[in-house]
A and B are shown apart, each in its own frame.
Chain A
Amino acid sequence: MPEIKTQDFSAASIAAINDPKLRRALDRVASGFEVARLDRVAEATPEVWEDWRQQARDIKAHTIEHLDYYLDLLYTNVTAAGGHLHFAKDANQANEIVAHIAQTRGVKVATKSKSMVSEELGLNPVLEAVGVEVWETDLGEYIIQLAEETPSHLVAPALHKSKEDVAELFSEKLGIPYDEDIYHMAATAREVLRDKFMEADLGISGANFVVAETGTLVIITNEGNGRLSTSAPRIHIGITGMEKVIPSMQDLSIFLRLLPQSATGQRITSYVSMTTGPRRFDDEDGPEEFHLVLVDNGRSKMLADPALREALYCIRCGACLNICPIYARIGGHAYGWVYPGPIGAVVSPMLVGLKRAKELPQASSLCGACREVCPIKIDIPRMLLDLRKKTAESPDSNLRSAPWIEGFLARFYARLMSGPKLLGMAVRFGRLLQKAERIIPFFSPMTKDGEWIKKAPLPPLSKWTRSRDLPTLPKQTFHDIWNKELSRDDS
């Protein structure tokens, strides 16, 4: 598995916010994908779009509730088509399977089209260790492979890089003259990778969907590298999470509408490629062997928890990232592991351990915009609340990891609010402090009119006053006013 940095979320997000280049890059994303998505929703009409979403959710819900049944059906049909389906319980096992196939088939060169799950597994170093040259061929993945970085977005992995960054990278790693022209850089990638596609013994892809009815693997792509990786080499290995299965090929119509339109706002991607087993004996070309590796790697934990099960409905479109105001400020790397954004704030803790990633579900204002744009109507805010509840109160000490002070403050707050008397006392005390402060302003500078506090002395309020003024306690509460003047009821 790739390095886990979820525990550094606070520091990483602060660094990200202070990076103006990243901000510019993120601004481009927000205005690009989401605007186009809205065009698609309008074109379909909101009523039709809502209907599609509900259909998609119903399909996913049914499938996940009966996941074993559909995995069994998938196995039967992949095998009947001449392919091999391998079940991997965790990342190590998945990597072993792929490495074994590579070694026993004498694989020297492998081309990869985009696969987030392969990032999750940390597959590339394992293959390299057994002597396989691995080439990422999706332009964004190729860029970050050269840069030795991880993807920062589900759909556009290198969006945090400016064209100057890429030009410098190409110049350094490929030994070519520095050239910022985006068209030239894409052409360079095409040239470099052309031969690799044809030379490769092994093509590795992810899967957007795997169809139980027919044993078919489906990828939706734009660049052509997905087609090349699944057509040119003699072996094709598809790797994906076990939750990607759908019952019938007929179900693809709904998903092929929702996924591209939600992800990039395209009506459909340039290519949709569907593999059902290896090539048939008289096909002109195509791989001789087809393998599908289905990975658990912690997904059964989400499966086992009814509050979190719907995280498995995700089709990885990235729409939630594109709308999220938190992602828009901090980008993908701050999340510290493979899956960023709102869905990442649920999936990463479940896969790497909630204790280690406990800040991720906390770093949300629960605005709900993600749920609104999700094509599968996944209720991400509910799941974030559930993870917060586990962090605060779970009987399982592996999950419960809220700092002691938070528990104390929660209990204190509940006590304070348990009756107007105690609350009244606290408020009167607060007003006293304010009065004292006005006479001897030593720790909480206020404005002249006494309406605002400029700087509170202690956290949490001091965190507020870093950038915002805090209102002072007024002379009366609403309770006081009600009792004095309002309680008579003259309508």
Chain B
Amino acid sequence: MTPDSLDSLGVPKAEFLASVRQALGREDVPPAQLYPRLADTLAELEDQASQIRRRLEENLAALLDKLADMAAKGGWNVHRAAGTEEAVGYIESIVRDSGATNVVRSAQDVFNQVPVDSALTNLGAKVTVVLRDDETPREVLREEIRQSGVGITGADYALAETGSLVILPRKGLSRLVSLVPPVHIALVRAQDLLDTLDDLFLLRRLEYHQRDGEMGSYLNFITGPSRTADIEMTIVEGVHGPKEVHMVILG
């Protein structure tokens, strides 16, 4: 796929590693003790994953509260919805308040459970599902995203420790939907919940090893709006990413 051979670029691996070894004064051997995490077997990872799941089940309510609390501290506008109707209601009012006439959303299955499209079209907004098919090339969808006022996604994970949304862009989940429009709404369900960063990375590694070294091309944590303090240490929100982010938690 790449136009030409890249083999001649830079120092050949063997030579580079040899010079590193020389600097360290060591032989070409693995570390005397294999790094514990790299020695994890698939069975061990699966076992840790089920422990994580168990702990989540036992502490669900408390963790949801922690997520809401940390997400708010992190700059999310947090809305807790008891049911799907309430969730749709929140999304509707956020879109209405934004004045957006163009909305883009991902094609995640949460939207089967929480049908937002009709409510938003009733508001007079155009809703584009960012999912490529034979008729819609990437460029067209990209333009829709650029023109939109609100981007809506689900969650792959929601981390209580940091109040972060975690998304894994893939088919039906564009990297740009949660990034380009000035407002981002994320719909989070109890099943997306995780407690700690350690939990998240364990599950990612599990997937990587289960799928023989495949974990998708990208992962994003989102905690609050885009920010900068580069001018006189004054915090400004909405620099290149969204200015306003809303987390609607179902449950």
Chain A residues with a Cβ under 8 A of chain B: 25, 28-29, 32, 62, 65-69, 71-72, 75, 77, 80-81, 84-89, 93-94, 96-97, 100-101, 104-105, 137-140, 143, 156-159, 161-163, 166, 182-183, 185-186, 189-190, 193-194, 197-198, 213-214, 216, 222-225, 227-228, 230-232, 242, 247-253, 256-257, 264, 267-280, 282-286, 288-289, 293, 296, 300-301, 303-304
Q: Can you list 23 A-B pairs with a CB-CB distance of less than 8 A?
A: A66-B24, A71-B20, A86-B6, A97-B10, A157-B230, A159-B233, A162-B232, A163-B231, A185-B231, A213-B205, A224-B179, A228-B179, A232-B176, A257-B197, A270-B223, A271-B241, A274-B219, A276-B215, A282-B170, A283-B171, A285-B175, A289-B2, A300-B19
Known: A93-B11, A156-B230, A163-B232. A285 touches B176 (CB 8 A): yes
Residues of A contacting B215 with CB < 8 Å? Answer: 214, 216, 276
Nearest CB in chain A: distance from B194 CB, A: 12
Task: Return chain A residues, CB-CB under 8 Å to B226.
Answer: 222-224, 270-271
Closest-by-CB residue of A relative to B48 is: A250
Q: Which of B19, B21, B202 contacts A250 (CB 8 A)?
A: B202
Complex alpha-carbon distance, A85 and B13, angstroms: 9
Q: How far is the CA of A189 from the CA of B231 in the complex (A)?
A: 12
A293 to B18, CA, bound (A): 18
- Beta-carbon contact of B173 and A284 below 8 Å: yes
Q: Which of B30-38, B58-66, B89-97 binds A? A: B30-38
Question: Are A250 and B205 in contact, CB atoms less than 8 angstroms apart?
Answer: yes
Partner of A104, one of B4, B20, B175, B240: B4
- Residues from chain B with Cβ under 8 Å of A139 in the complex: 228, 230-231, 239
B141, B224, B232: the one within 8 Å of A28 (CB)? B232
Give Cα distance in the complex from A358 to B99, angstroms: 60
Contact B239–A247 (Cβ < 8 Å): no
Number of contacts between A and B (CB, 8 Å)? 278
4 smallest CB-CB distances across A and B, nearest first, come from A224-B241, A224-B240, A140-B230, A253-B197
Residues of A within 8 A of B227 (CB): 222-223, 270
Interface residues of B in 1-60 (CB under 8 A from A): 1-4, 6, 9-13, 16-26, 28, 30-31, 35, 37-38
> Which residues of chain A have C-beta atoms less than 8 A from B138's C-beta?
284-285
Contact A275 B198 (CB under 8 A): no
Given contacts A87-B13, A186-B231, contact A267 B169 (CB under 8 A): no
* CB–CB B218/A274 < 8 A: yes
Smallest CB gap from A137: residue in B = B240
A283 in contact with B217 (CB, 8 Å): yes
Q: Could you tell me if A223 and B228 are in contact, using CB atoms closer than 8 angstroms?
A: yes
Q: How long is the Cα–Cα vector from A110 to B118 in the complex, in angstroms?
A: 40
A320 to B236, CA, bound (A): 25
Q: How far is the CB of A270 from chain B (nearest CB, A)?
A: 5
In the bound complex, CA of A178 to CA of B236 (Å): 19
If the complex has contacts A248-B205, A249-B201, are A190 and B240 also in contact, measured as CB distance less than 8 A? yes
Q: Min CB distance, B147 to chain A, in Å? A: 12
Q: What separation, in Å, do the CA atoms of A293 and B6 have in the docked complex?
A: 12
A159 touches B230 (CB 8 A): yes
State in angstroms the CA–CA spacing of A286 and B142 once bound together: 11
Q: How far is the CB of A59 from chain B (nearest CB, A)?
A: 9
A161 to B94, CA, bound (A): 37
- A166 to B213 CA separation, bound complex (whole angstroms): 47
B130 interface hit (Cβ, 8 Å)? yes
B251 on the A face (CB < 8 A): no
- Look across to chain B and name the residue whose beta carbon is closest to the beta carbon of A224: B241
Of B18, B218, B229, B238, the contact of A276 (CB 8 Å cutoff)? B218
Residues of B within 8 A of A29 (CB): 233
- Residue B80 at the A interface, CB < 8 A? no
B222 within 8 A of A: yes
In Å, the complex CA distance between A248 and B198 comes to: 12
B205 touches A214 (CB 8 A): yes
Most A-side CB within 10 Å, residue of B18, B31, B218, B234: B218
Instruction: List B contacts of A213 (CB < 8 A).
Output: 37-38, 205, 208
How far is B162's CA from A93's CA once the two chains are assembled, in angstroms?
40
A273→B132 CA distance, assembly (Å): 23
Chain B: CB-nearest residue to A231: B175
Kindly provide the distance from the CB of A375 to the nearest chain B CB, expressed in whole angstroms: 15
In the complex, residue of chain B having the shortest beta-carbon distance to the beta carbon of A252? B201
> How far, in Å, is A231 (CB) from chain B's closest CB?
4
| CB pair A284 B132 closer than 8 Å | yes
- 20 additional contacts (CB under 8 A) given A223-B227, A250-B202, A284-B171: A28-B233, A66-B30, A67-B24, A68-B26, A72-B13, A94-B10, A182-B234, A213-B205, A214-B213, A223-B240, A224-B242, A225-B240, A227-B175, A227-B220, A249-B204, A271-B222, A271-B223, A284-B175, A285-B138, A303-B20
A62 to B138, CA, bound (A): 44
- Whether the Cβ atoms of B16 and A158 lie closer than 8 Å is no
Q: Does chain A have a CB within 8 A of B146?
A: yes
Contact B228 A267 (CB under 8 A): no
User: Are B217 and A186 closer than 8 Å at their CB atoms?
Assistant: no
Instruction: Give complex CA distance A268, B28 in Å.
Output: 38
Residue B148 lies at the interface, judged by CB distance under 8 Å to chain A: no
B240 touches A279 (CB 8 A): no
A contact residues around B218 at 8 Å (CB): 230-231, 273-276, 279, 283, 286
